[in-house]
Amino acid sequence: MYDLIVTLIPMFPLLAVLANGLNVMLGHRYSHEIAHRLAWGSVLLSFLCSIWVLGQTLGHPDPRTVIVYRWFFGADLTVNFGFLIDPLTCIMLMVVTGVGFLIHVYSVGYMHGEEGFTRFFAYMNLFMVSMLLLVMGNNYVVLFIGWEGVGLCSYLLIGYYYDRVSAAKAATKAFVVNRIGDAGFLMAIFLIFANFGTLDYTDVFAQAGKLDPTMATAIAVCLLIGAVGKSAQLPLYTWLPDAMEGPTPVSALIHAATMVTAGVYMVVRNHAIYDLTPDALMLVGVIGGTTALFAATIGLVQTDIKRVLAYSTVSQLGFMFLACGVGAYAAAIFHLVTHAFFKALLFLSAGSVIHALSGEQDIRKMGALWSKIPKTHGVFLIGTAAIAGFPFLSGWWSKDEILGHAFTHGHYVLWALGATAAFCTAFYMSRLLYVTFYGESRVDHEAAHHIHESPNVMIVPLMVLALLSVVGGLIGVIPGGLENGWFQQFLQPVVRSTGAGGEAAHEEGHLLAYILMGVTTLIGAAGWFTAHYFYKLKPEQPDLLMNRMKGAYTLLLNKYWVDEAYDKAFVEPGKAVGRSFDKMDQAGIDRAVVAVEQVTDLSAAGSTWVEKHVIYSGLNRIGYSNHLAARVLRRLQTGLVHHYAAILVAGLVVLVNLIVLFLWLGGAS
Amino acid sequence: MVQIFFAYFALVSIAAGILTVSLRNPVHCGIALLVLLGHVAGLFVLLHAEFVAVVQIIIYAGAILILYLFVLMLLNLKTEERYFHRRHAWYITGVGALTVELLMVLLASRFGGAKGPSTVEAVEQIGNSMAIGILMFSDYLLPFEIVGIFLLGAIVGAIVLAKTPSPADLSGKDR
Amino acid sequence: MVPVSAYVLVSAILFVTGLAGVLIRRNFIIVMMSVEIMLNAANINLVAFAHHLDSLGGQIMALFVIAIAAGEAAVGLAIIIVVFRGKLATNVDQINLLKW
């Protein structure tokens, strides 16, 4: 029963994919109504199954393995297609299926009337299948299948509006940058196999202690490369902002709540290896911290509502990596969960705003919307508060836990990076809120007429997410108090540390924790107040500041010109190589083709000549010689019998002579 | 003694043969043929084949030759100026001489063959006719009968071919 | 005692004579007579060997040859009569309907 339910979790969306996919290919046999019901219905069923599995796991948190079938095997290696269910998996399942379900429902309203409606849901369900495989897999191969699958779906969904060149380019960019990370990930898998001889999690982690530190560092770094690619950290983050070309639900699901968190999940899953290498962990933390700050600074000045949220996602993912880097794996997952809630909420409400304004995404053309789309405003406000760290909301708990853990374990630099990033986060999110919803209306005249609140099918999921954003953090504190809530206790068996980053610091005292909590809150408040100052109290200040700090402003606005640098360093040379190959091709092949053409011509002419003068004339001569011979031999037929008799006699004479000469004389006398 | 007779019969036969093929007048040719037939019969007698000799005289000389002479006179062909193919004559004669030459070489070799039972003495005891008769009607009965049928066919054919065609035949209409 | 080779020689000479006659003469009937000469030559050969080998088979064969010659002469002459009755030709040179 258990095995069946577990297997069904990815099965439901898979069936929906097949149905909707076939529907599209066979020419839309059933209506959009049925298509979307299949889509979110399957995710709902998966969610219910995940709840059941969670219930089962609450009873006994030991990891349970479900083998679906023995996939491939050889002398040294057996790879099963199997699932591993432990507390970490359960958490991820709930996030993926739960938030995924809400986003699916929202999409029914958002994508209403689109021509590729069924295709969209087919891709979304395919993404669900891949993500579920990723989090449920019990070995690196299944993980990798899911890993690649979500990358593929990301490509398909970013490029959903395939007739837009910018969308197609963004999709390709996402896939290629992901691929770079995947190369590192594959290296890690090879190293793991070389060292452990198996690819199953349980076996690998059990033997993890036998690794020598250098090998452990190598594996950890390679895994990190994969995580950096998938979770858009420095230096492989450039694809995420461009990925906003896709529809907003895609941004919410894939680029906020689930796919990008796969990197964090992977690091947490492999903590047994990371715990062996403090150097690699430090690298993780550093990457996380710098990314958090770097992306936050870019987000300060962006003008596209989705871009701001994209950089915010990169930044928050940096927080999660930071948490992993200081050994606070449970905190990282906690932040992953809360981030899923409020980031999905923010993206979806941004989508609601865009929908209300008939497609406008530039915040410079928004303003004074709070009265016109009150519900959207309400949920956006809640989301902003959550991410900025408003006390007692979900984001406050999780962010504080990360920063607290960093500080108490002596990683002061990382703490400083994180704190600064938190300040920036609060600032730019508040800025976004103010510019979009308050102030004077800068909306286009045309769009202003059509401003309307989104339909309920979009609003209700937003409300649910808003509720989760408010109360979701409480699972981290109830019932055990700060950093010891149900959540952390649930995850304890999984993230049991074996080396660095132990839980010893917890005993240090709650006073320090409360002080840090206060500091974090102050930082958040400061960020909000700065935004309030610039955008509400003194609205003319931003422009003045911009003029005074022209250089810095341009640097930030142009995203530190990282994309341009990558372009010059990698893309252009690559294209140049391609072009030179093309030229070589053309020169070589063209010449070859022309040469072949000439040879063919020559041989054709030669053949023709031979045919005419040798073959035909030969044949003619043979025929003619027949003629000549016939003309000569014809004269034998005189019609006169005595001539025939003469010939008879001549033949007889010859025969007799022959017989006499050769048979008789040769034998007898 | 026998050699003298043999020489006589042989030489005359050959002479008669040459005359038959070279005389101008067909009737003269027929007479020469008659002489040939008679002397061949003589050769047969020398070979102790009396029955065959007699049959030769009766049938060959007495019937076939007569038939030839009848037809000659019936048709009354004109003897023409050029009565033989001059060109062929030389070629054929030359080749024929060559063949005869070869045969003479052959004749120097021993003639093999199994000896039969009918020695001259045995045959003379019962007489040639009886000996032939015994053999003919026992071992060679089938060929004998077949020859009979053949002769029947020849008669019928000759009559059908040579009879005066009725007016219907000449005009070609169906009867 | 006359050796059998003498008889064979006589037979050969007569045969070639007859053959020459068949090929040279233009008169049909003389041609047929020449055929008779050839048959006689064969007869001499047969009977000579019958005597040499003490077998009567040769003589019986000679009888058959004479019979056959008779039949053949009859039919041949009948054909000649038919050919010449219609005055189709007077000599062999003119019977050439089989000419190409």
Label residue A496 by pLDDT band (50, 70, 90): low
Residue pair C50/B128 in contact by the 8 Å Cβ criterion: no
CA angle A205, A210, A211 (to 5 degrees): 90
Helix, strand, coil shares, percent, chain C, to 5: 80, 0, 20
Give the torsion through C-alpha atoms of A158, A160, A165, A169, to 10 deg. 30
Quick check: A431 pLDDT over 90? no
Contacts 24+ apart (CB under 8 A), A622-631: none
Of A414, A408, A409, A389, give the one whose Cα is nearest residue A400: A389
- A-contacting residues in C 19-48 (Cβ below 8 Å): 19, 22-23, 26, 31
Instruction: Specify the higher pLDDT residue, A156 or B162.
Output: A156
Task: Give dist(CA B40, CA B57) in Å, integer.
Answer: 9
CB atoms within 10 A of CB A625: 10
Quick check: B104 pLDDT over 50? yes
Residue pair A182/A229 in contact by the 8 Å Cβ criterion: yes
Neighbouring chains of C at 3+ CB pairs within 8 Å? A, B
Task: Give dist(CA A323, CA A55) in Å, integer.
Answer: 28
A653 interaction partners in chain C (CB closer than 8 Å): none
Pairing of strands A78-85, A64-73: antiparallel
Say if the Cβ atoms of A657 and B88 lie within 8 Å: no
Of A262, A436, A220, A283, give the one whose Cα is nearest residue A346: A436
Quick check: B16 pLDDT over 90? yes
Quick check: C67 pLDDT over 90? yes
The backbone region for B172, taken as left when phi is positive above 0, alpha when psi lies in -120 to 50, beta otherwise, is: left
Mean pLDDT of chain A: 84
Task: Give dist(CA A121, CA B140) in Å, integer.
Answer: 111
Average pLDDT over residues B101-118: 67
Which residue does chain C place closest to B13, by CA atoms? C14
Task: Give dist(CA A328, CA B54) in Å, integer.
Answer: 148
Q: How far is A639 from chain C (nearest CA, A)?
A: 4
Per-residue pLDDT tens over the stretch A324-382: 888 888 888 889 999 999 899 999 999 888 888 877 788 778 877 888 888 888 889 99
Quick check: A161 pLDDT over 80? yes
Residue pair A344/A257 in contact by the 8 Å Cβ criterion: yes
Nearest CB neighbour to C82, from listed B63, B140, B161: B161
Residue pair A267/A306 in contact by the 8 Å Cβ criterion: no
Quick check: A659 pLDDT over 90? no
With 0-12 CB in 10 A as exposed, 13-18 as middle and 19+ as buried, what is B1? exposed
The answer to whether B97 contacts chain A (CB < 8 Å) is no
Dihedral sign of CA atoms A197, A200, A206, A208 in order: positive
Tokens 């297997």, residue located? A7
Amino acid at A111: M
C26 interaction partners in chain A (CB closer than 8 Å): 642
Average pLDDT over residues A636-664: 77
Residue pair A59/A86 in contact by the 8 Å Cβ criterion: no
ipTM for the assembly: 0.87
Q: How far is A626 from chain C (nearest CA, A)?
A: 17
Which residue does chain B place closest to A659, by CA atoms? B102
DSSP element (H, E) containing A79: strand A78-85
- In Å, the largest CA–CA distance within chain C is 55
- CA-based R_g, chain C, Å: 17
Helices A87-110 + A117-136 axis angle, to 10: 170
B153 interaction partners in chain C (CB closer than 8 Å): 71
Q: How far is C80 from chain B (nearest CA, A)?
A: 9
Q: What is the DSSP string of chain B?
A: -HHHHHHHHHHHHHHHHHHHHH-SSHHHHHHHHHHHHHHHHHHHHHTT-HHHHHHIIIIIIIIIHHHHHHHHHHHTPPPPS--B-HHHHHHHHHHHHHHHHHHHHHHTSPP-----S--HHHHHHH-HHHHHHHHHTTTTHHHHHHHHHHHHHHHHHHHHHHSPPPHHHHHT---
Average pLDDT over residues A463-476: 83
Average pLDDT over residues B83-101: 68
Both tokens of A386, joined, read: 């959550």
Tokens 């989705």, residue located? A306
Beta-bridge mates of residue A304: A362
Task: Give dist(CA C74, CA C63) in Å, integer.
Answer: 17
Residue pair A426/A388 in contact by the 8 Å Cβ criterion: yes
Say if the Cβ atoms of A646 and B88 lie within 8 Å: yes
Q: How far is B136 from chain C (nearest CA, A)?
A: 7
Say if the Cβ atoms of C26 and B29 lie within 8 Å: no
The answer to whether A646 contacts chain C (CB < 8 Å) is yes
Q: What was the pLDDT predicted at A504?
A: 43
- A252 phi and psi angles, rounded to 5 deg: -65, -50
Instruction: Specify the higher pLDDT residue, A571 or C15.
Output: C15
Task: Give dist(CA A98, CA A120) in Å, integer.
Answer: 19
Both tokens of A66, joined, read: 């479900």
Q: What was the pLDDT predicted at B109?
A: 61
Contacts of B138 by beta carbon, 8 Å cutoff, 6+ apart: none
Quick check: A498 pLDDT over 50? no
Per-residue pLDDT tens over the stretch A34-82: 888 888 889 999 999 999 888 888 877 788 888 888 888 777 788 888 8
Say if the Cβ atoms of B85 and C91 lie within 8 Å: no
Average pLDDT over residues A135-139: 90
Q: What is the DSSP letter of A482?
A: T
Residue pair B73/C84 in contact by the 8 Å Cβ criterion: no
Dihedral sign of CA atoms C44, C46, C51, C52 in order: positive
Of A477, A363, A333, A489, give the one whose Cα is nearest residue A429: A363
Residue pair B30/B16 in contact by the 8 Å Cβ criterion: no
The answer to whether B2 contacts chain C (CB < 8 Å) is yes
Both tokens of A297, joined, read: 């600074």
Q: Give the number of B-C residue pairs with CB atoms closer than 8 Å.
A: 232
Quick check: A497 pLDDT over 60? no
Both tokens of B142, joined, read: 């089938």
Say if the Cβ atoms of B60 and C62 lie within 8 Å: no
How would you label A435-453 residue by residue, b for 16+ Cβ within 10 Å and e otherwise? bbbbbeeebeeeeeeeeeb
Beta-bridge mates of residue A137: A83
CA distances in angstroms from A668 to B98, B107, B110, B111, C5, listed in the order given: 20, 12, 9, 10, 16
Which residue does chain A place closest to C16, by CA atoms? A649
Nearest CB neighbour to B64, from listed C18, C34, C73: C73
- CA-based R_g, chain A, Å: 38
**3-class secondary-structure state, position A213:** helix
The answer to whether B95 contacts chain C (CB < 8 Å) is no
Task: Give dist(CA B77, CA B71) in Å, integer.
Answer: 10
A641 interaction partners in chain C (CB closer than 8 Å): 92, 95
Which residue does chain C place closest to B70, by CA atoms? C77
Beta-bridge mates of residue A78: A73
Say if the Cβ atoms of C23 and A646 lie within 8 Å: yes
Dihedral sign of CA atoms B109, B114, B118, B122 in order: positive
CA angle B151, B155, B156 (to 5 degrees): 120
Task: Give dist(CA A471, CA A659) in Å, integer.
Answer: 127
- B112 phi and psi angles, rounded to 5 deg: -90, -165
Contacts 24+ apart (CB under 8 A), A640-645: A640/C92, A640/C93, A640/C95, A640/C96, A640/C99, A641/C92, A641/C95, A642/B85, A642/B88, A642/C22, A642/C23, A642/C26, A642/C31, A642/C92, A645/C22, A645/C23
Beta-bridge mates of residue A274: none
Average pLDDT over residues A177-202: 89
Amino acid at B80: E
Mutate to test the interface with C, among B21, B67, B72, B150 (most CBs of C within 10 A): B21
